[in-house]
Structure 1
Amino acid sequence: MLKESLNHVVPFEPVTLECLLGLFSEIKLKKGTVFAKKGEYSKNIAFVKSGVLRAYYSNDKGEEYNKTFFTENNFVGAYSALITKEKNLIDIDCLTDCTLLVAEYEKITMLYGQYPQVERLARILAEQFFVRKEKREIELVTLEAKERYIIFQQEHPTLEQLIPQYHIASYLGVSPTQLSRIRAKK
């Protein structure tokens, strides 16, 4: 699964791929487990084999705002904290039981000099992440809630059956009541 996903982004030489894959090890996390905690330093990046995680902000009042969801065949990590080596500004936790392939981010970056394909992979994944993030930010400020909900359904067709509706409402920037109304009108 990871091997195919990596080769889909960058066609790897077998030796490079083997070296990169060797950095990952499988872990299983239960629903509710924290993968990255706000205020702490992150070391790991992971590939989601199964399950759903969310990245979210929380304010001093304890209100949470879902930033993004990480689903099967995607990478998860507190990217800005990993890159800057500063404390996490977000939390990432498991919304379902998850199986992850985890690697230390620094060990991956240490391969860049010797294996240019690994650095190319990181650049392409960062570019894809940036494009998705920008698209979402534009949608949040330019589209109506109903339009954002339709896009959510297209991009995450099975997620509504896996996670509580209040998480989806938070992701869309609406209240659970507003989401119920949108869903009723559909």
Structure 2
Amino acid sequence: MDPNVIFLNSFLDVSEETFNKLASISTFKKIEKGVQIDRPGEIPSKIYMLVSGIIRAYLSSETGKEFNKNFFMPFSFVGSLTALIKKAPSKLTYETLTACKVYEVNFEEITKLCSEDIHISNLYSKVLERIFIRYEERQLEFISMDATERYLKLRKKISRVDDLIPQYHIASYLSITPVQLSRIRKKIDGN
């Protein structure tokens, strides 16, 4: 079975007709490493289904310091959802950390389909629920776990994270310095 269908079925059973409607408004794209797919200050219009690679979402301070908000792994939906819904400028940058393969969808087209097709509307609702649950889990990590526990959880979530994502990005995601991350890694790995 098509892995894209399997992914969508993890939210809700998707008929072939529904899948074909979604496919008709999607464009498959290969994106090189280091490409910003959404930038702060711009009003985004696309949402992406990531099928391979890693994308990060980050906030830049006025001094240029970057704060990683999230890492996206296959299969997930990626995009500045708040900005898309509000039709307002994004506050975040979305950047590929590796070469990626995505399905790009115009957000207005998906919301139009939602108003026309209850199955797509139900799928959209389930996707939003999953995004909210992940957001809340991330917030709970910050108030209930120390940096070592957050790092261990990240290593479970992203196998080979240390090989795939630069240390300074991981440290930013964990809200610690690269030096602190180095100490945590040394303690865990016994090196």
Normalising by the smaller structure, the TM-score range is over 0.9
Cross-structure match for 2:132:
130
Whether contact under 8 Å (2:5, 2:14) holds in the other structure is: no
Whether contact under 8 Å (2:54, 2:71) holds in the other structure is: yes
Cross-structure match for 2:113:
111
2:146 is the alignment partner of 1:140 = no
Q: What whole-Å deviation, never above 9, does each CA across 1:28-52 have from its counterpart, x for those lacking one?
A: 1111101100000101111112111
Cross-structure match for 1:160:
162
Pairing partner for 2:77 from 67, 75, 78: 75
How many residues end up aligned between the 2 structures?
186
Q: Distance in 2 between matches of 1:72 and 1:158?
A: 14
Cross-structure match for 1:20:
22
Q: What whole-Å deviation, never above 9, does each CA across 1:19-71 have from its counterpart, x for those lacking one?
A: 11111111111111011000001011111121111000111010100000111
Cross-structure match for 1:30:
32
Q: Distance in 2 between matches of 1:45 and 1:182?
A: 35
Whether contact under 8 Å (1:3, 1:21) holds in the other structure is: no
Q: Distance in 1 between matches of 2:143 and 2:12?
A: 34
Cross-structure match for 1:99:
101
Q: Report the TM-score when normalising by structure 2.
A: 0.93
Indicate the SS of the match to 2:30.
Answer: strand
Q: Distance in 2 between matches of 1:158 and 1:4?
A: 24
Q: Distance in 1 between matches of 2:15 and 2:4?
A: 15
Cross-structure match for 2:59:
57
Q: Distance in 1 between matches of 2:140 and 2:162?
A: 23
Return 5+ residue gaps in structure 1 as ranges: none
**Structure 1 residue runs of 4+, over 2 Å off?**
none
Instruction: State the Cα distance separating 1:158 from its structure 2 match.
Output: 2.9
Q: Report the TM-score when normalising by structure 1.
A: 0.96
Whether contact under 8 Å (2:154, 2:161) holds in the other structure is: no
Indicate the SS of the match to 1:113.
Answer: helix
Q: Distance in 1 between matches of 2:50 and 2:162?
A: 18
Indicate the SS of the match to 1:54.
Answer: strand
RMSD after superposition = 1.1
Percent identity, aligned pairs only? 35
Instruction: State the Cα distance separating 1:141 from its structure 2 match.
Output: 2.5
Whether contact under 8 Å (1:29, 1:97) holds in the other structure is: yes
Indicate the SS of the match to 2:170.
Answer: helix
Return 5+ residue gaps in structure 2 as ranges: none
Indicate the SS of the match to 1:40.
Answer: coil
